[in-house]
Structure formats: structure tokens, C-alpha cells
Amino acid sequence: MTDELIRLPATEVVARLRRGEVSPLELVEAAATRIASVEPAVNALPTLCLDRARVHARRLMAGDGREEADAPGWLAGLPVAIKDLTDVAGVRTTYGSPIFRDHVPARSHPVVERIERRGGIVIGKSNTPEFGAGGSTFNEVFGKTRNPWNTSLTCGGSTGGGAVALATGQVWLAQGTDHGGSLRRPATYCSVVGLRPSPGRVTRGTADNLFSPLSVQGPMARTIPDLALFLDTMAGLCPEDPLTFDAPAVPFARAVAQARPPRRIAYTSDYGGRLRVDRETREICEAAVRRFEALGCVVEEYAPDLGAIEEAFMVLRAQHFVVDRELQLQTHRALLKSDIVWNTEAGLAQTPSRLAWADRERAAFYRRVVELFSRFDIFVTPSAATPAFDVDLRHPEYVDGERLTNYMGASTLNAAITLTSCPAVAVPCGFDRFGRPVGLQITAPIRGEAIALGAAALFEQMTGLDRQLPIDPRPGTVPESRGVAAVTTSPPPLEGLGREADQG
């Protein structure tokens, strides 16, 4: 029974919960059994709250807490994972930082409160880099999280624990955050799906950067219909977040079920050679996007001019670090990892003129993207510049044979979309010759989550890659080819690599 339940998609499990064919408590126990089986090999859910989950399950079974049972996104007692950046009342929440090693919040984050009101049961906290800053999931509190497709490789960051928990069948849905690709790249590396919603679609609640559109909360899942279901759970107006707005009249789950093929698709693998993307990744993605043509879609090579958007992102991102980390830099500098210190100090050194330039550059790029969407329904790129790399590296050393000086060389595919505030979903599209997952990033116009999810759902139906999950963790080795693999077999220690990090 346990093996059957963990292999079902979330939508089917919720349907069975609604019909009374399975109970919330049975699901908690099924998840607990699976976690005990696979967790030692991957370290995805370092903090569990099984007793708390059992209490919640019994409460739902007794008829309590069902006030929103008719609302879109009702989960009916489905266990979920919450990223360790996000507070859960009474559950150890460290933010991946030794500063908060023993922190236990009294109140849950507003997005967790919403998930629990909609029938989700929190079963554990998923691992994250320190304060979500990093493209590989590790921290001094809990250590490394490993990719289940090859446990010698990273799962990406910073929602790495959530992606691994999904891929291995420990949970059916996982909550995460995204600033420079933190829902999209881990999803790609683990062959699951992750959505960066438009700012304001999902509450950020207690964040200090409440008026910044850079970092967002969002869902991760194994299938696109599951992703749409969880977005319905999360979406809506929240008085604690001034950017939020009402959920749509048509739930995302229904929009995905009724999705029609997009008419015109813009695709680029590397923005006309402006970005470095591994050759095999380009080839796999270029072949994959052409599958839309079988649905009658027109696929055209096209990309907006990037301008100086990579540099602008670094400037705006550094300012984000100042808001989030300046006070901790003053009081706990010795306990902050070097990436965070460097990024915060870079922000403190910037001038108002420099920030103004970055905002103007962002606005100009957004206008070019708006022009793209006047001609095309969706914009598609690879969702990561490289496949998963060595778990002992902070970021890939090489992309397409070129050595990187900082992590942004491997992140601009995601970061550029972040600056547009457009929604983007990562969906698997195949595997490279070393068996590492590769994916597409599907971007839609602002607040067009239903469009992006609908296109991704149609693509997922054609590939069937979602049916390969969940998997048991697989040991492996790190590929040796610098030109394709973007890793080395003898990496320097983590503390010796680069200073850049991907926040949230």
C-alpha cells in the first residue's frame, strides 16, 4: 500500500482522500516509511515533524479544519514539505544558518498557514543553502543534499531538498522560493517541475523585502497538474504582503485541464550566443521544443536583446542582500558564509546612481520582452545552462568548455526572467549522455501562469517523463568531460570556490 501511494500523483491522491478511499493518517505513515527508506542516501528532509503531522491528520479525519474544503487547491490531508527558509510553528526552522541552529518559531509563515487551511499537512522541512544563498544545496547545520539520479551530483539550489524529496517519493508536493532560479534549476536537475510565479501571486508574508519583486514563493511537484493544484492552494490576496492580489476566477487546475496549444512559440538556447550553454543541453532542448510542432504550434528562433541585464541583476540582487543581511553582518559576521558577506558588502558599496541605472536597464529589458509577447504566446529557453554538477562544488566550474568566474555565468537564463516579473515553469525534456536530467523553461506574459502551465502540461503529456518518478537514489560518479559536464573529478574544497551565490 505504501509503495502504491507514494507513486501516485498528488491529484489522484487528493481525489482518493475526497472519496474516503485513503485517510490523511495513512498518507502520513506512507510518507514516513518512504522517508526512512531513502533519506539516508540524499539528506533532503533533515527536519521531520511526524507527530505534529499525525495530530493534524487526526484533526482533519475528525472533521476539524475543513472550512475551506470547497476552495480551489483543497489538499484534503495531503503531506507536503516546507523549505527550511519558511517558518512552521513549533518546528525547528534554521534557514540553513548556524545563527538559527536551534530556532523554533511560534508562528507559521502566512503561506504555510494558507497551505494548512487548505488541507495540506506539513511533514518536514526541506534542506536549503544558508539563507537560500547558493546554487548547490548544503549548509553547516545539515550538510549536503544529493541528487537521486546520481548521488555524486548536486540537486541544485536553493529549493534542492524539496526537489529531491519529490523525485524520491518522500512527499507529493513541496513549497519553495525563487530569486535567481531556486525553484527552476533544482526542478531541472531532479527531473521534477517547479514554477516561479509572478510577484504577488503567492504571499511572501514576513519578508523584509516586501516591496521587491525579485524573490517569490512558489510550488514544486512531480507533474504539471500537481503543480497547478498546489498553486491554487497558495495563490491569493494576503494582507501581510502588499503586492498580493486575488486568485483568478478560473482555478489553475481547471485551466491546465482545458489547455490549448500555443499558436506561436519563441525559442532561444543562448540568446544568440550571448550566454554560455553546454552544447549537449542546447541540442536536447532544441530538439525538445520542436515537439510542439506536432501540436500545430509555430516554433521560431527568437530572443529579446539582453542588453546589460546580467550586470543589472547582480546590482539589484546585491541591494536585496543589504535589506536582508546588513544587520546580521553587523552582529554575526563570523557565522555568515563568505558568499553572503561578499554579496552584502557589494550592495553596501553601491551608489544610488548605480541602483538607478540597474532599474532603468531592467525596465528597458522588460519592454523588449513585452514586445516579444506581442508576437508570441510563450518564450522557451533551456532551464539550466548545465546539467547537475559535482555535489562538492558551489557552482559549475565550466559551461560549454569556458571557465566561469562566478556563478552568474550559469544562472542568467533564470535571472533574466526574474527581472521581467513574468511567470516561468521548468519542465523536464530529457537526459544527457551521462543520464543527467535536462529541462525547458517556459515563460508566459506577466500574470500568465495559466498559459505557462498549460503549455508545459501539453509538453509533459507528449514526453511522459513524469511517469519515471519516483526513483530510488542511484549512486554514480562525476562525469569527467569539462567541455560537456561542467565539472571536474577533483574539485577544490567548498570554501575555495567563488564568492557568488543565488539568493532564494
The pLDDT tens digits for 267-295 are: 999 999 999 999 999 999 999 999 999 99
423 pLDDT above the threshold of 90: yes
Cα–Cα distance, 16 to 200 (Å, whole number):
32
Cα–Cα distance, 4 to 242 (Å, whole number):
42
Q: What is the mean pLDDT of residues 370-399?
A: 95
Q: What is the mean pLDDT of residues 34-60?
A: 98
Cα–Cα distance, 456 to 161 (Å, whole number):
23
Domain coordinates of the chain in residue numbers? 2-496
- Domain 2-496, what architecture? Alpha-Beta Complex (3.90)
In sequence order, what are the beta bridge partners of 402?
399
Q: What is the mean pLDDT of residues 419-446?
A: 98
497 pLDDT above the threshold of 60: no
Residue 270, CA distances (Å) to 121, 383, 384, 396 in order = 41, 11, 11, 17
The pLDDT tens digits for 309-337 are: 999 999 999 999 999 999 999 999 999 99
405 pLDDT above the threshold of 80: no
- Residue 268 has a pLDDT of 98
- Residue 2 has a pLDDT of 80
Identify which of 230, 190, 159 has the alpha carbon closest to the alpha carbon of residue 10: 230
Query: Running DSSP on this structure, what letter comes out for residue 259?
Result: -
Residues annotated as catalytic are 83, 158, 182
Q: What is the pTM assigned to this prediction?
A: 0.95
The pLDDT tens digits for 334-376 are: 999 998 999 999 999 999 999 999 999 999 999 999 999 999 9
Beta carbons of 269 and 282 less than 8 angstroms apart: yes
Q: What is the mean pLDDT of residues 104-122?
A: 98
Beta carbons of 222 and 9 less than 8 angstroms apart: yes
The pLDDT tens digits for 65-97 are: 999 999 999 999 999 999 999 999 999 999 999
Mean pLDDT over the full length of the chain: 94
Q: What are phi and psi of 493, to 5 degrees?
A: -60, 155
Q: What is the mean pLDDT of residues 31-48?
A: 98
- Residue 322 has a pLDDT of 98
179 pLDDT above the threshold of 90: yes
Predicted confidence band of residue 406 (pLDDT cuts 50, 70, 90): low
Grouping H, G, I as helix, E, B as strand and the rest as coil, residue 240 is coil
Q: Which residue has the higher pLDDT, 11 or 339?
A: 11
Amino acid at the residue 106: A
Residue 267, CA distances (Å) to 2, 165, 270, 312, 451 in order = 41, 31, 9, 23, 16
Q: What is the mean pLDDT of residues 227-254?
A: 98
The pLDDT tens digits for 466-496 are: 999 999 999 999 997 554 433 333 333 322 2
- Residue 494 has a pLDDT of 29
- Residue 493 has a pLDDT of 32
What grid cell was written down for 34?
518512504
Cα–Cα distance, 23 to 19 (Å, whole number):
10
Q: What is the mean pLDDT of residues 29-52?
A: 98
